[in-house]
Each structure stands twice: as C-alpha cells, then as structure tokens.
Chains A and B, each alone.
Chain A
Amino acid sequence: MSGVTLRGVRKSYGGLEVIKGVDLDIAPREFVVFVGPSGCGKSTLLRMIAGLEEISGGELQIGGTRMNEVDPSARGIAMVFQTYALYPHMTVRENMGFALRFAGLSKAEIDKQVMEAARVLELEPLLDRKPKALSGGQRQRVAIGRAIVRHPQVFLFDEPLSNLDAELRVHMRIEIARLHKKLNATIIYVTHDQVEAMTLADKIVVLRAGVVEQVGSPLTLYDDPDNLFVAGFIGSPKMNFLPAVVDAGGALRLPDHGDQILPALPASAKLSSGTQVTLGLRPEHFRPDGAAGLRLTVDLVEHLGGESFAYARHGEGGEVITVSTGDSRALESGQSFDARFDPSKALLFNAQGLRLR
C-alpha cells in the first residue's frame, strides 16, 4: 500500500485561488478524513489527488512517485462518489466488472474479482439487478465494490454517505471502518459530518478556505485544538467562547458575566494584565462539582434521553452558552442556575484566534 504526499499543492480557477498551498503526509494504510465547512476545497483537493482536476502548483506523490501529470487511471487510486456514479444500464455484476475488461483481464479472472468483492460487501444476491432496483445503501456498496475490484493503493471517498438517511449512514459508517481493517488500504475520505470524521479517522485534516488549519488524530483535535476555528468546528454541540480580560497574576475576568474572576490558568499566568483573550469551554466541561460557576438563565433545554443540553445566557442580552447537564433532567426554561465548571479544563485563545498553551 502506498502513502500520499502533498507539497505546496495549489489550485486556481482563473485568478481565484481555492487551494492555497497544502502540505500533507499520509502514511500507507492510514485513514485520513478531510473536514471543513462547505466550499473550503475538500472536494477540489480530493479530485486533484484523483487527477480529475489539474494541479496548478506544488507536487503530489503517491507511493513516492510524482503524479502531477499522470493519468487518473495510472495513479493506483479508486474513487467513490457522493452520487454513486453507477452505470445505470448495467447490472451490479457488470458495473463492478466493466473497467476490468479494459485492464486486459480474462473473463474468468474478472468473474473471480467481482465475486470476491460481492462476497466482502454481501452483494451476492443483488448481482443481476440494475442500480435503479437498489436502495441507497446497496448502491453505495456497489460503488465501493467497483473500487475494490481494481485493488487500488489508495481509496478516495467524496462524501459517500451524505445521500443516505441517518440510520443507514451509521450502518455504512461501521461497514466502511470494517472494510478499512479488512482491506488494509490507504483511505482519503471527505465529509462535512464530524461524527463520521471522529469515528473513522486515524487522522483528521481540518480545512478552511483552501488552507489546512490543523492535522491530527480525532482526540488531539478535540482536546488540543490549535486555534479558535478548529476548536469551534470539532465537537458537537460547539465549544462556548467567552471573552475574557487578563487581570493581575493571570487571573481572568469575564466582563460579560458580571466581571466574575476565574483563577489563573497556566497559559494566562504569562500574559500581561489587560490582554484580551477568549476562553473556550466545551458544554461537557460543565460539571456539578466544578470549582467555578456562571450565573445563567435557561433559554431552552434539549433532552436527548441519555443526556440533556441547556442553552442559557447571562442576563437578558448575553451570548448563548451551551451547558451539558449530564443525565439531569431537572432544568426548565426560564429557570436561573449556577453552571459549575472546572476552570482548569478551559482553553485560552489570543485575539488572533491562536491557542495559548
């Protein structure tokens, strides 16, 4: 299996630069997920690796070989599209075997490959059906089967599950994870669903406006984000951001919360008094036994069953703060409460949005 390396990769459409110099190392057998808001260039980057979009600058290597000018079919990759891109007039069997006819394989050999892929994906009973007689999940499995039969070095997935309903999406997600273990292949996977990213990835690449914001394992990005954008993008519900001012000795004053003072954090102790910072608090950092507290009034409570979230604010006009109340269902809207949290868990960002450690 091959790794993939990107060095200063750029893409412009006319004068508009949409990928602004991406450096990335993907190890063999790694499962890498590209996430980012809509329009940030995830698909474009993936299609450049596939060879469907020309690379305007920089270098792409697959398995250590420069691939910028190589035809898509010779890059050792296979791609699964969001729309499945099945051939509508061919049966499942023909869909999976079609490309192999042009790879110089014998009929018997093609049959063997197709049966093998069908077995792995449990498609055997459907082999003689046409795509229009399949459900969304089955179509997606055929599209994956069509990729498998070619034994690519690298699999590319562009939002493969976004046309499926929630339940099927969970099911297919597990199936893709299982497949990755079985095939032992390098996978690059684009999604804007962060649950998919968190559960599938060995490594997540967070993109924004054509720039890589941070690369790391899912838990690294969650626990230790490099900047406000990553902190806000990873995790659901979103992290709360509270404006704060550094006081004497690194203590933090919260002007939006009645000038309440929090004890100094390791990162804030080094800052001079008066510095504007942003405090990041995840909803689940709120715990009944926390050392600090915010006086909040509940706007709305969401009960998910296992856990509940309160959307609350300080006073009338304050920012909404999301508080995980664990399995406690006692809060009601309009009620005031003391949201306790552990201040040592809070993350600190400077005025430019960069993390202070």
Chain B
Amino acid sequence: MGKFRLGRSENVYAWLFLAPALTLLAIFMVYPILWSLWMSFQTGKGVNTQFGGLANIYRLTQDPVFLRALTNTLIFLIIQVPIMIVLAILAAVALNDPKLRGRAFFRTAIFLPCVTSLVAYSVLFKSMFATDGVVNDTLMWLHIISSPIPWLAQPFWAKCLIIIAITWRWTGYNMIFFLAALQNIDRSIYEAARIDGVPAWARFVYLTVPMLKPVILFTTVISTIGTLQLFDEVNNITASGGVGGAPADSTLTLSLYIYNLTFRFMPSLGYAATVSYVIVVLVALLTALQFFVARERK
C-alpha cells in the first residue's frame, strides 16, 4: 500500500460526495437483493407468510411448471445465443470490408431493431407471423412450404418464433462490439496472411476469431444474462388471451414464471424470490464456465 494517506477531513468530504449515490444504491439495489434473499425462505401466500427454511427449494424440485420454465429457458439459451453470436460476427466481418458499398446504411439497418419500441415490434411480429400473416404468405408464394406454419399455435414453432424474434432484436447490438474490435485490428495482419498464401477461410478461423476472443466472451456473457432474463417477447408475442408463454407453457420462461407467481396467481412472493435466485445462480455458474473456457491456456 502507498504511504500517502488522505487527511481526516478529506475522508469526510469524500464520503459526503458519495453519500447520495450510495443511499440510492442501498435503497434500490442492496436492500431488495437482501430482502428477496430473506423472502426466498418464506412460505405461504399473500401477506400470510412464515419462515419455511429450505421448503421453497424442495418445492422447486417438485414443481412441473418450474421445471418446464427452466427447460424452456435453457433451450432458448443453448440454441439462440450461439446462433446470434455467429450471425453477429459474420455481419460484422461483412460490414468491415472496405470494398462493400452502403456500409453505413447496412450498419444502421442491422443495429436499429434493438432501439425500436418493444411493444411496436411485438405487435408487428405477432401479425407478421399469424397463420395468414405476411411471413407464411411469402413462404407459400416462394413454394418453400405448402401449408401455413402454425407459428403461434404449436409449441415447436412458437419456440422458433421467439428465437427468431430475439435474434432479430439483438444481433445488431452484438455486431457493434465485433465491428469496433475488428476496426482495431491492424489491416496489414490480413495482408501479410494473404501474401503468405493463407486461404480466406483460414484467415477467418485462425486469425479473426482468436483475435475477437475477448469480445466473443463479453457478448456471450451479456447475451446469456439477457436470455436467462427473457420476459418481454414471451409475454407479448406468444401471449394468448393476455397470458404469456403460450401455447401450453411452451414458451414459459423463468422470468415469466416469476411474474406469474407474483402478479397473476395468488401472490407467492417467497417462492417467486427463490426462482429469482435460481437465475442468479445460473448466471454465476454460466459466466464462470465461460471465463474458464476462454481462459489463456499455457
């Protein structure tokens, strides 16, 4: 530690300046986090609760709806995140080519979805993917399918629809990180490889991808966290009669289940808090795993 010490009065001023921010953080972050941890040990409904120890955790293992929400969430995670990261890298590499015309236009076009209004886009997706919507019409007109795909009515297709929707919405966002990283790579690295006869695919696999590794890790972690908290789309696009997660809970996610437990059913706040902590544990485990996989190997 350095020998330099702040004087006592400087210390006080520092705390005074920090106090407003710390107070807000404490009230709106620390307190709810600790309180929900405490609540996750409470059982009972509505205001009528008592301490139940590990009862909620036992309940998790016996709850088929929770298990289904967990499975759905993990399916979304495992399928959607890799697809989106790969698409984002490919889009970034394509848009980084100085010979491409209209780069600025495409960059904006791909980035725009993540700043559009959630409700507007949900309504649009719902109508586009309706049985007689523009997507089915186009696919039939192109003779790719012979009868309409039941996007909103069948569990499998509903999951596909959610994956399409969140991929559409977040690919551009991730692409921006890759573009920024690519623009920092010295162009002569690729020129050297070209002169040395390294084929284009190998330049991508052995040069671009490894050099993007830190960004791949970063985007994977934030996308994982985002997908584990997936709520908006399943509560809007695949909602039927005002209830999200349709059809037959096939797009029910952990976040949506927490919402249902708290606001839709007879409030079971303690149990909802326990499910929230499942997400926390999953985020922690998966992030640790991703850092482990991406570590510098000797």
Contacts and interface: CB of A to CB of B under 8 A. Distances in A.
B213 A99 contact: no
Contacts of B194: 52, 72-73
A77 B194 CA distance: 11
A85 interface: yes
A85 B211 contact: no
Q: Which 9 A-B pairs have the closest CB atoms?
A: A73-B197, A99-B196, A85-B188, A85-B192, A81-B188, A89-B210, A72-B195, A85-B189, A79-B195
Nearest to A156: B195
B206 interface: yes
A337 interface: no
Interface string B180-222: 0000001011011111111100100011001101000000000
Interface in A73-102: 73-74, 77-79, 81-83, 85-89, 98-99, 102
**B interface bracket (residues with beta carbon within 8 Å of A):** 10 to 19
A102 B188 contact: no
Nearest to B191: A52
Contacts of B192: 79, 81, 85, 146
B97 to A, nearest CB: 15
Given A87-B207, A89-B210, A89-B213, A102 B186 contact: no
Residue among A74, A82, A86 with the highest chain B CB neighbour number at 10 A: A86
Contacts of A88: 189, 211
Contacts of A79: 191-192, 195
Contacts of A81: 188, 191-192
Contacts of B211: 88-89
A50 interface: yes
Residue among A52, A74, A146, A150 with the highest chain B CB neighbour number at 10 A: A52
A52 B196 CA distance: 12
A146 B191 CA distance: 13
Contacts of B207: 87
A102 B191 contact: no
Nearest to B192: A85
25 contacts: A50-B191, A52-B191, A52-B194, A52-B195, A72-B194, A73-B195, A73-B198, A74-B197, A78-B196, A81-B191, A83-B188, A85-B186, A85-B192, A87-B189, A88-B189, A88-B211, A89-B210, A89-B213, A98-B196, A98-B206, A99-B193, A102-B197, A102-B198, A146-B196, A150-B196
A146 B189 CA distance: 12
Contacts of B199: 102
Interface of B: 186, 188-189, 191-199, 202, 206-207, 210-211, 213
A166 interface: no
Contacts of A146: 192, 196
Contacts of B193: 87, 98-99
Interface of A: 50-52, 72-74, 77-79, 81-83, 85-89, 98-99, 102-103, 146, 150
B197 A99 contact: yes
A220 to B, nearest CB: 32
A73 B188 contact: no
A202 B188 CA distance: 28
A293 to B, nearest CB: 53
Given A98-B206, A102-B202, A85 B197 contact: no
Contacts of A89: 210-211, 213
Contacts of B210: 89
B198 A98 contact: yes
Nearest to A128: B298
B80 to A, nearest CB: 28
Contacts of B198: 73, 98-99, 102
A85 B213 CA distance: 18
Nearest to B197: A73
A146 B198 CA distance: 13
A51 B197 contact: no
Contacts of A99: 193, 196-198
B61 to A, nearest CB: 44
Contacts of A82: 188
Contacts of A98: 193, 196, 198, 206
A79 B195 CA distance: 7
Contacts of A103: 197
A5 B196 CA distance: 22
A343 B227 CA distance: 85
B216 to A, nearest CB: 13
Contact of A78 (B188, B195, B213): B195
Nearest to B195: A72
Contacts of B206: 98
A73 B202 CA distance: 14
Contacts of A51: 195
Contacts of B189: 85-88
Contacts of B196: 73, 78, 98-99, 146, 150
Contacts of A83: 186, 188
Nearest to B202: A102
B93 to A, nearest CB: 17
A107 B166 CA distance: 45
Nearest to B189: A85
Contacts of A87: 189, 193, 207
A98 B206 CA distance: 9
Nearest to B199: A102
Given A52-B195, A79-B192, A99-B193, 15 more contacts: A72-B194, A72-B195, A73-B198, A77-B195, A78-B196, A79-B195, A81-B188, A85-B192, A87-B189, A87-B207, A98-B196, A102-B197, A102-B198, A102-B202, A146-B192
Nearest to A150: B196
Contacts of B197: 73-74, 99, 102-103, 150
